[in-house]
């Protein structure tokens, strides 16, 4: 079932979102200061490529204070707006019965995009 969901996800916009995160990550990695944020864009981009069957959890080796500082910077600069976009599309898809699984994936992405530092992605 995860395979079918991932294929449909890619067809109906998942690949475009993946490319956007990869391009954003590359642009952020052009500067020394943006490298940690670019790496988070790559992490989120890979998660958006195949979101069905993957989960987000707190990383056991989370760097604590540094993760908090980076998450605050991330939220102020981009995370809030990215999370709002995923919330909008999640609500839009949740209106239809067919779109419920995709809405669930957008809500999962919303939580990750709001504060990506200190999180890891794993296969269920």
Digit-coded pLDDT (tens) for 11-27: 888 898 999 999 999 99
Domain boundaries, the chain: 2-123
Encode pLDDT of 24-65 as tens digits.
999 999 999 999 999 999 999 999 999 999 998 888 876 678
**H or E stretch covering 121:** strand 119-123
* CA separation for the pair 99, 37 (Å, rounded): 30
| Burial classification of residue 3, based on how many CB atoms lie within 10 Å of its CB (0-12 exposed, 13-18 middle, 19 or more buried) | exposed
Does the pTM of the predicted model rise above 0.75? yes
């Amino acid at each position: 079932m995860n395979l079918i969901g991932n294929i449909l996800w890619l067809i109906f916009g998942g690949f475009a979102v993946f490319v956007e995160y990869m391009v954003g990550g590359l642009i952020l990695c052009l500067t020394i200061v943006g490298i940690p944020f670019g790496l988070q864009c790559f992490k989120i981009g890979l998660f958006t490529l195949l979101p069905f069957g993957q989960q987000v959890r707190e990383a056991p080796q989370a760097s604590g204070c540094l993760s908090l500082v980076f998450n605050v910077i991330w939220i102020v600069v981009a995370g809030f707006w990215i999370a709002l976009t995923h919330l909008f599309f999640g609500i839009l898809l949740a209106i239809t019965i067919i779109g419920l699984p995709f809405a669930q994936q957008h809500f999962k992405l919303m939580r990750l995009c709001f504060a990506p530092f200190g999180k890891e992605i794993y296969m269920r």
